[in-house]
Structure 1
Amino acid sequence: MDRVSHVELTTIKFIYLHITIDSVIYRIGQGKLKFFLGNPNTILDAIPADMVINCVITAIFIHSNQAPKNFIYHVSSSLRNPLKLSDVWNISHHYFMKTPYINQNGKPIVISKGIVVNSFVAFNIYMIVRYVLLLMVLNLVNKICRHSFQDVYEKKSRNISMMERLAKLYRPFVFFKSVFDDTNTEILRMATKDHLKAENEALNFDPTSIDWTDYMMNTHIPGLLKYQTK
């Protein structure tokens, strides 16, 4: 049972680190992300998990004595306190410059700022110039040398394919141009001032109260490294 639980937990962590923005943060810390694809002004609809829970608790209390009805609350920050891709990029670099990630040998990883590729066309050009042409040369040398570098070639080829797949995976999100309406959630939050005066601060889910730099530097990134990368 313990073995199964460990495998499941490891799988969840692996998937989580490959489909969320945290994979970007993690790779920045490892020094593996030399460039970033996306519009720097794209707004992420991010929100701390505790605020989502606070909103759920508040909604349950407010509607506990009401007739069943479809109440939809979008717990969001994109409209009232937007976090941009450029913010994540800059804050992450600042964090790992200040607190370097320690590799398996116990040595701090020195990172560079890298570049931001702000269009998919630019990404394709960058990939060709930076990686594909070199891979073609390596493939030619490998054939001339009777496949002496086959392992190296296959590894480089897989890495390029992975970068291209990740780019396609993230494309709808890193060039997203919309924000989400949280009017219902704001109305709910205002209602707590009358019904939950004492608990209003404890059950905070006001996105305007978030200091993104402080939150990322002192809560989110440290938590990511402590609980998701072990």
Structure 2
Amino acid sequence: MLFSLRFVLAGALAHPLSLPRSQTPPTPGAPKRFPQITLEQIAPEGQQLAQDIIKLSSVGLAGPYNVMFRSPVYADRLNKLLDYLRFNTSLPTRLNEFAIIIQGNEWKSQIEWFAHYPLALKAGLLQQIADDVKKGVRPANMKPDEEVVYDVSMALIRTHNVPDELFNRAKAILGEQQLVDLVAVSGTYVGVAMLLALGQEMPPEGKPLPFPAN
């Protein structure tokens, strides 16, 4: 069986278009990979962190937090980083949420899109722009700073590089700190998407999946 699994993975990696393109829910009837953690199960030293998360998170201790708390020190460090990136970053909220949904769409991350699509619209991102991202097309009618966020994000996703012309344009429009914070939030939410994929975490029961399940 191990040989056959390696064979399947090797074939999928050789033909990346055959790989699943959306994070898939658990098999019906299968146990949850990480049973949902409750406040009562969290050690005393983690109680304050858990309560802070509950106050701010649209999914409570579910989603990435359910996976994060399997490594309590990591959960604490990551939450501090998320606190900066969500609420204290130099980027305007509109651009910050735009960067997050770009990564959410790239990873077809059900919870990232479910949670951050409405936050992006609330922050002032045009719905047409967010919907174009989900369609996989370059959005029309973007402001110059939105164009920079999109172009830098997509350059790093597609080529793992930022060409000189794009770097100079991005630096001129955003400045150094905002440009660094853009990359920081983008990379962090790739990590969050990985945690969600690892745990097969999905939106609350009864809510439709933003991306069709494979």
Identify whether the pair has TM-score above 0.5, normalized to the shorter chain: no
- Normalized per residue, the structure richer in helix is 2
Q: What is the TM-score of this pair, normalised by structure 2?
A: 0.29
**TM-score, scaled to structure 1:** 0.28
Of structures 1 and 2, the larger Rg is shown by 1
